[in-house]
């Protein structure tokens, strides 16, 4: 299990590759890798968004994400989980988050990946400030779906 928070650009596919190599997975030791990559949209709440600033509480955010991963590892027959998340200034199209789950079978990988992502969106202490035409505003709730 690995949780990474980064204030610099995130390359989701490089993170997945690095984690898989570091974990020492052989090509036949897993049958499925479920990966979700979230990117910054250029719109929210019917407004054009030109910039997003993500803030977090160091130490607390990692602890919450690690707890979410441990819960999924306990619920699903998965080999490993990676969560890499950006913070700081982001522009439309920038990757924000990658969640990757390795398992012997696709159902466990897909369901655990979804569970981790949904828990992250609802429980991880991140604060979002968007820049729109009218100025800056704090995002009070996450989008659904």
Q: Residue 73's domain spans which residues?
A: 2-138
pLDDT at 144: 57
Is residue 48, in this structure, part of any structural domain at all? yes
The DSSP-derived string for 45-104 is TTEEEEEEEEEE-TTHHHHHHHHHHHHHHHHS-EEEEEEEEE-EEE-TT-EEEEEEEEES
Q: What is the CATH number of the domain that holds 70?
A: 3.90.1170.40
Please determine, for residue 145, whether its predicted confidence score (pLDDT) is greater than 60.
Answer: no
Is residue 143, in this structure, part of any structural domain at all? no
Is residue 144, in this structure, part of any structural domain at all? no
pTM of the model: 0.94
| Measured distance CA(33)–CA(116) in Å, rounded | 14
β-bridge partners, 137 = 130
Is residue 145, in this structure, part of any structural domain at all? no
Report the domain count for the chain.
1
């Amino acid at each position: 299990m690995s949780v990474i928070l980064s204030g610099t650009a995130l390359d989701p596919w490089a993170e997945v590759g690095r984690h898989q190599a570091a974990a020492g997975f052989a090509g036949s030791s897993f049958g499925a890798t479920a990966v979700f990559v979230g990117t910054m949209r250029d719109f929210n709440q019917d407004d054009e968004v030109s910039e997003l600033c993500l803030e977090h509480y160091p130490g607390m955010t990692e602890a919450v994400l690690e707890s979410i991963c441990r819960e999924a590892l306990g619920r699903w027959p998965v080999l490993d989980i990676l969560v890499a998340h950006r913070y700081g200034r982001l522009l439309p199209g920038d990757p924000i988050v990658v969640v990757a789950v390795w398992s012997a079978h696709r159902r466990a990988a897909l369901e655990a990946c979804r569970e981790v992502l949904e828990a992250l969106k609802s429980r991880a202490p991140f604060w979002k400030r968007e820049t729109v035409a009218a100025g800056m505003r704090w995002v009070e709730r996450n989008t659904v779906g």
